[in-house]
Amino acid sequence: MTTTLPEFIISRTFNAPRDVVWKAFTEPEHMQKWYAPKGFTSRAVRQEFRPGGIYHYCLSSPDGHEMWGKVTYREIVAPERVVYINAFSDAEAGITRHPMSATWPLEMHTTCTLTEQNGQTTLTVKWVPENATPEEIDTFDKARAGMTQGWGGTLDNLTEYLANNPQL
């Protein structure tokens, strides 16, 4: 169950049709080329794109430090919506704490929607802690500027990837 805390919401409109953005957002061969904060690289380790399936990935910082992540898909409505639980993980896909914040929520409930108008697609990401303690909720609430920067850089990467790969 999610909290009653206001969601963190970020949107970006891409100059690409929804089916192209959907592919970039859901297929690991595309995701690993943009799904990372600015300056990081990403590699897909495992992808089971179905409710109950996972996407296990590794982020590498410019200095070579690795951070692992795990997405567990809850709902997929192609090409409109993906709902999943996102967590930091280890190399075996076990859930772990944020490597730089001991009080960051273990799990984040994520809802991503894609809408198309006039050949452009808006991706909206809604993020809220899942099964979080009061301390984790407080950490989340105080980290909105950092989330804006992190997600903003990731969406910048997607903007660039789509511009360079218009047909995927």
Tokens 């951070």 sit on residue: 67
Cβ neighbourhood burial of 94 (10 Å; 0-12, 13-18, 19+): exposed
Residue 6 predicted with pLDDT over 90: no
pLDDT digit string, tens, across residues 113-162: 999 999 999 999 999 999 999 999 999 999 999 999 999 999 999 999 99
Residue 3 predicted with pLDDT over 80: no
Structure confidence at residue 167 as a pLDDT band (50, 70, 90)? confident
Residue 1 predicted with pLDDT over 60: no
d(CA 34, CA 55): 15
Contact 70, 48 (CB under 8 A): no
**Predicted TM-score (pTM) above 0.75:** yes
pLDDT digit string, tens, across residues 12-55: 999 999 999 999 999 999 999 999 988 999 999 999 999 999 99
Q: Which two tokens mark 109?
A: 């409930």
DSSP characters for 65-124?
-EEEEEEEEEEEETTTEEEEEEEEE-TTS-EE-BTTBTTS-SEEEEEEEEEEETTEEEEE
- List of domains in the chain: 8-164 (3.30.530.20)
Contact 111, 99 (CB under 8 A): no
Mean per-residue pLDDT over the chain, rounded: 95
- Average pLDDT of 98-125? 97
Contact 136, 129 (CB under 8 A): yes
pLDDT digit string, tens, across residues 77-92: 999 999 999 999 999 9
Residue 9 predicted with pLDDT over 60: yes
Q: Which of 112, 78, 80 is nearest to 10 (CA)?
A: 112
